[in-house]
Structure 1
Amino acid sequence: MLAAIPLLILPFAIYNLAMIGMFGGLAGLNADMVSLSMLSGATWTMRFGDLLIVGALLLLFVELLKATRTSSRALMDHLLSMILFIVFLIEFLLLAPAATQLFFILMTISFIDVIAGFAVSMRSAGRDVSIGL
């Protein structure tokens, strides 16, 4: 059952923790995490929110790898991913602190997880042909 839990719940939970005041609130998501001087003389900065997006993209990659494996948990995994996306959408529409670009990008990543998961499962279902003799 634990393997069916969508990994994208982690960035969702981190954002919600920031909404309730942890990590310095939503302003903490704009805190600089890394700042590097480039050879061009420019300064490249990565904020906590940017790092959250990168982490969500890495988790999306793992979710897509999980979707390619056929197992009895695949349906539950897709269902939970869909529920997570619906919760993202409801929160985005109804809560003012969730109406940010960062939250929208995280919601879009969750949507891609849902669509890709269904596409992979439909494609693998088309190949599952058995002939009864």
Structure 2
Amino acid sequence: MYQMFPLLAISLIIFAVLSLTGAAGPEWWEITFVELPMVSTDVWNVTWGDVFLLASMGLLFVELLRSTKTGSDSIMNHALSVVVFVVSLLLFIIVKGFGNSVFFLFMSMTFLDFMAGFIVTTVTARRDLSVGGGVSA
């Protein structure tokens, strides 16, 4: 059950809840999380949007590792990843509060997740078929 659930759906739900409820304030992704002074005397302003993207990239990494497995759970995960991408795309285009760079980058991660999953699964299946000798006629 857990193997087929796309982890980026967690990020999508968090972004949607924070944006639609306004619980963290309007445009929460632009609120400064921390200001870090640099040696160059610059100040690096890390926003909540940056933290969201960093956490989502961590989930994307785990998804890419999971995409190397074959089986029915993996295929269902890829199908659900397509759903996450389509929902993200629709939110980005249609719903107020989702048309920003932070969500666009997240949506791009959902696209990479399902594309990489299908490609890795296809390559792995081909390799398994060629190692096994394929189907004889």
Q: Fold match, TM over 0.5?
A: yes
Which residue number in structure 1 is paired with residue 81 of structure 2? 81
Q: What corresponds to 2:19 in structure 1? A: 19
* Structure 1: segments with no counterpart, 5+ residues: none
Superposed structure 1 runs of 4+ greater than 4 Å apart: none
- How far is the alpha carbon of 1:3 from its aligned partner? 2.0
Structure 2 gap ranges (5+)? none
2:72 paired residue number: 72
Question: Which AA in structure 2 matches 1:60?
Answer: L
Match of 1:54 in 2: 54
- CA offsets, 1:24-68, max 9 Å, x none? 23x222111121111111111110001111111111100000001
Q: Report percent identity of matched pairs.
A: 33
The DSSP-based 3-state class of the residue aligned with 1:84 is helix
User: How far is the alpha carbon of 1:81 from its aligned partner?
Assistant: 0.3
The residue number in structure 1 matching 2:116 is 116
1:83-127 C-alpha deviation (Å, 9 max, x unpaired): 110111111111122111111111000000011001100101101
Give TM-score, length-normalised by structure 2. Answer: 0.89
Q: Which protein has the bigger helix share?
A: 1
| Higher alpha-carbon deviation: 44-53 or 92-101 | 92-101
